[in-house]
Amino acid sequence: MDKVFTTADIPLALICINQYVGSPNLCNTCTSLAPYKKYVYYKLSKAYSKMYRTSLLFRSHVLNMLTTRKQLCLNLCYGDIDDVLAFGNIHSLNLSGNWNDIDVRALGNLHTLNLSNCHGIYDVSSLHKIHTLNLSFCDEITDVSALGKVHTLKLCNCVKLSDVSALGNVHTLDLSHCYNISDVSALGNVHTLDVSHCKKITDVSMLGKVHTLNLSYCGKITNVNALSKVRVLELVHCSGLTDVSALGNAYVLNLYGCKQLVNVSALGKVHSLNLGCCTNITDVSALGHVHTLRLQFCNNITDVSALCNVSRLYVFACGEPKGMGTLGNVINSLWSK
């Protein structure tokens, strides 16, 4: 039966309809939908965004279609923008890769702003009201203390950044490759946190409430007992780990390349488990109820007969362990010497 949209559902209906017909035109031609024109966003291509910037006639034409400038999304990436005053009241703006120094103070009221690879940016204190903010590879930024209320914040490769204590209320936070960060104790309320490649981090005891956590390539971490309630946990090449017995409640657990691991008997309830290149593991008998199990390059495993109920088993270069004949119904099985 087709879904019937009520009046309250009309904004959602427009989103669905827009997959098949231009919802701006629909709102213009259908009288009953006219009041909902304000829910439509106009996302201009890079070429049309440039025209909006340079042509007053084209800009006037675009603005005449809008109920408010908050419906406008512009893409001006990899340009030579220096004056951004005309963009302060729109919905979203992409200035990624702009090679001029930008005074971002006029952009504080945007919903979504991408300033990644803008190397001339130093002061971001005026951007604290933005919902989604990308400052990745802005390598001159040192102070983000004003950004604690941003919902989604990307600071990947902000290499001069060391103090993130003010970011504990950010919902989704990417600090990957921020090599000078060592203290993440204030980030326990972040929902989704990526601190991969932050190699100075040693203590993650305050991150137990994080829902989705990426600690890959943080080789100095040795104790993950506090992470027992993390649902999605990435620990790729965390070479200091020897004990993962507390992680049995994770839904997705990636331990690829944790070569010091030997005992994985506590991980039998994990839904998706990656133990690739964990070359010291020999016993996988407790993993028979894992849904998706990756064991590639685990060449010391001796017996796989207990894995016949695994729904998806990915293995490669694991020698010829016992029990291979029991795996006839396992999907995606591949054994190779």
3-class SS string, 149-161 = CCCEEECCCCCCC
The lowest-confidence range among 69-73, 99-103, 140-144, 280-284 is 99-103
Q: In what helix (H) or strand (E) does residue 49 lie, and over which residues does it extend?
A: helix 46-54
Amino acid at the residue 165: S
pLDDT tens sequence across 191-242: 999 999 999 999 999 999 999 999 999 999 999 999 999 999 999 999 999 9
The lowest-confidence range among 51-55, 92-96, 149-153, 188-192 is 51-55
Q: Check whether 187 has a pLDDT greater than 90.
A: yes
Mean pLDDT of 52-68: 88
pLDDT tens sequence across 232-287: 999 999 999 999 999 999 999 999 999 999 999 999 999 999 999 999 999 999 99
Looking at every residue in the chain, the average pLDDT score rounds to 87
Percentage of residues in the chain with pLDDT exceeding 70? Answer: 84
Q: Please report which confidence band the pLDDT of residue 8 belongs to, taking 50, 70 and 90 as the band edges.
A: very low
- Single out the residue of 74, 40, 71 nearest to residue 54, CA to CA: 74
Task: Report the pLDDT value the prediction gives residue 10, as an integer from 0 to 100.
Answer: 44
The lowest-confidence range among 55-69, 169-183, 217-231 is 55-69
**Which residues fall within 8 angstroms of residue 245, CB to CB, at 6 or more apart?**
263, 265, 266
Provide Rg for the chain, Cα atoms: 25
**Which residues fall within 8 angstroms of residue 124, CB to CB, at 6 or more apart?**
104, 135, 138, 141, 143, 144, 146, 147
Q: What is the pTM of this model?
A: 0.88
* Higher pLDDT pick, 337 / 276: 276
**Joined tokens for residue 53:** 């910037």
Mean pLDDT of 140-154: 97
- Using an 8 Å Cβ cutoff, are 175 and 181 in contact? yes
- Single out the residue of 239, 250, 246 nearest to residue 280, CA to CA: 239
The lowest-confidence range among 182-196, 220-234, 305-319 is 305-319
